[in-house]
Chains A and B, each alone.
Chain A
Amino acid sequence: MGERAPNQVEAGVWVVVLGELSVFTLFFTTFLYYRALSIDLFHASSATLSQTLGLLNTLILLGSSWFVATAVNALREVDRRRRALPHLAGALCCGAAFVAVKVFEYGRAFREGVNVLTDEFYMFYFMLTGIHLLHLVVGMALLGAMALHLRSALATDAEVSETLVGFSSCFWHMLDLVWIILFPLLYLLH
């Protein structure tokens, strides 16, 4: 496969994505620095999280990324465009499942009397997962907009906006990428 030269919009998308990834990298290193200052507290609090739910959310987001990648691939071929819609629906379902698992986790933590002020670990836990969750909701809105746009484009046989598809898919994969690193940091490091 040959190289694809990015247009201005695509370049802008990458500036946003790499900017976000750099900010999250700062969050990751800050978390690890504070973890080192109170390592026993971070170990004890991290052990109260459900690793199984963290793993489940990782697998859900990986599944959603596969759905988005196959949808974008289908959109490139005119005769297969129609196949993109169910894949986008699959990605949206995965996103909704991720939100549901996260809300369940938050609810369980609140019922146990744990909140953002409980200790430093939980402050980071709620901040990092909360920011990620907010981004995920934005990502779902973008995927929803992409699905609606595709549906109307299919109905009228119009061109599909490459900008919307490029930005939405890149943004969604970025969320997967951030969670791939957040999962071991919050749930696995002991």
Chain B
Amino acid sequence: MTRLFFLTWLFLSLASLLSWWLDASMQGVWVGTAVLFVAFFKARMVLMVFMEVRDATPLLRWVCEAWLGIACTAVIATYWFAPFSLPG
């Protein structure tokens, strides 16, 4: 378990550095979308590993996955389709 926590922490830290590097070296809506996807993937890892939702009841797992899906869709859809932010 301790090893899993360490590997998760390492992955999350490297993913944060990757997002920072991506944004510093490239521009564009697709880069922003990738950075947001990475953020929600990291959020899922925090929920599943650190908050131990992977060992919880199916109901709690389902509710957490649903929140992640809704939040990720809402944030990325607003990023893409809100007024004057259409790609291109």
Point out residues on A near B: beta carbons under 8 Å. Answer: 1-6, 14, 18, 21-22, 25, 28-29, 32-33, 35-37, 39, 51, 55, 58-59, 62-63, 65-66, 68-70, 73, 169-170, 173-174, 176-177, 180-181, 183-185, 188-190
| Given known A6-B56, A25-B70, A66-B6, contact A188–B78 (CB-CB < 8 A) | no
Contact of A14 with B60 in the complex, beta carbons under 8 Å: yes
**Which one of A6, A25, A65, A73 contacts B46 once the chains associate, using CB atoms below 8 Å?**
A65
Closest Cβ neighbor of B46 among chain A residues: A177
- Chain B, interface size category, equals 35 or more
Contact of B55 with A32 in the complex, beta carbons under 8 Å: no
State the 7 A-B residue pairs at the shortest beta-carbon distance, nearest first.
A36-B82, A36-B85, A66-B9, A32-B78, A188-B23, A25-B71, A69-B50
Closest Cβ neighbor of A17 among chain B residues: B51
Q: How far is the CA of A37 from the CA of B35 in the complex (A)?
A: 21
Taking A3-B57, A33-B82 as given, write out 13 further A-B residue pairs in contact, using a Cβ cutoff of 8 Å, ordered by the A residue number: A3-B56, A6-B56, A25-B67, A37-B82, A37-B84, A39-B84, A55-B20, A63-B13, A66-B5, A66-B9, A70-B5, A73-B1, A184-B35
Collect the chain B residues with CB atoms within 8 Å of residue A188's CB: 19-20, 23, 32, 35
Contact of B79 with A189 in the complex, beta carbons under 8 Å: yes
Q: How far is the CA of A180 from the CA of B39 in the complex (A)?
A: 6
Interface mask (B23-41 → A, CB under 8 Å = 1, otherwise 0): 1100100001001101110
Contact of B78 with A36 in the complex, beta carbons under 8 Å: yes
**Which one of B40, B57, B67, B79 contacts A4 once the chains associate, using CB atoms below 8 Å?**
B57
| Given known A25-B70, A59-B16, A65-B46, contact A6–B60 (CB-CB < 8 A) | yes
Q: How far is the CA of A170 from the CA of B52 in the complex (A)?
A: 9
| Given known A35-B82, A177-B43, contact A4–B56 (CB-CB < 8 A) | yes
Q: In the complex, what's the smallest C-beta–C-beta distance from B4 to chain A, in angstroms?
A: 9
